[in-house]
Amino acid sequence: MERERYNIYRIDDVLIKVGYVFLVLFVLTGGSAVSTMVKQASPDQSDTLFIATASLFIPAALFLLIGYNFRAREQLTAAILHKMELAGEVPVTDLAKSVGFSRRTVEQALLLINRRGLGYYVLDRGSDRIIDGRLRRNMVLVDRCDRCGSSISKSFPASQEGPPKCPYCGTPVGIDRWHEMRSMVLEDIRNQDLRDSAPGRISKGVPAAPSARPVFSLPVFILLLFIFWPAAIIYAVSRYNK
């Protein structure tokens, strides 16, 4: 997987790095506190060092906990995105089983993918399948009937799962032939994604959604971190929920 493409949140990277900074400071301060206590420091000094040490452990624990929680959700969403890019369409139950999460979790991950402009996947309630939205606008041309040989010369949506029927004899197009034609459309979509993801190329496959614009400001986060670190956490979580 391409790290940059599948780095969906980016907030998790910042939170984890800040958490480790606090953790290092906690270890250094804790070492000084132990050294001072060994030297039989006064009770007032011991209390001050204890408070200073605790004040560094709490943010370290919170930043790391929240950061790795976001990281786990990101990895799930990235796994689903990767599977959908390979398959193009898949039953919801099969996708949920493959990632080991509930149907609701899968649907929430797909919603996030759509909001971030990383893809456009829709749930076909009729067949209970998740399909690449671009299949609905791509057409498959059926030129003739396999049985009667009549000329059909009609295009059908690639999102259609079952083969269309001949308007003359009513016989469905051969299932293997229909799947082969649909597979060609999926392959064209994948190739377009590869071309769009090349360096210096602007994606033409899926336009970025309005909500895909960055909503997390690193300068604002750093400013809040220095002023009042709990506000930085609240800011990061609120940006994530949007």
Q: State the greatest distance between any 2 C-alpha atoms of the chain, in Å, as a whole number.
A: 100
pLDDT tens digits for 24-62? Answer: 988 887 766 666 655 655 555 556 667 777 788 889 999
Tokens of 22: 């606090």
pLDDT tens digits for 158-201? Answer: 777 778 888 888 888 888 888 788 778 777 777 776 666 555 44
Report the number of secondary-structure helices (H) and strands (E) in the chain. Answer: 9, 5
Report phi then psi at 129, rounded to 5. -120, 150
Tokens of 55: 């004040």
* Residues 6 or more apart whose Cβ sits within 8 Å of residue 203: 196, 197
* Residues 6 or more apart whose Cβ sits within 8 Å of residue 181: 140, 141, 142
Q: Label residue 16 by pLDDT band (50, 70, 90).
A: very high
* Residues 6 or more apart whose Cβ sits within 8 Å of residue 139: 155, 156, 157, 158
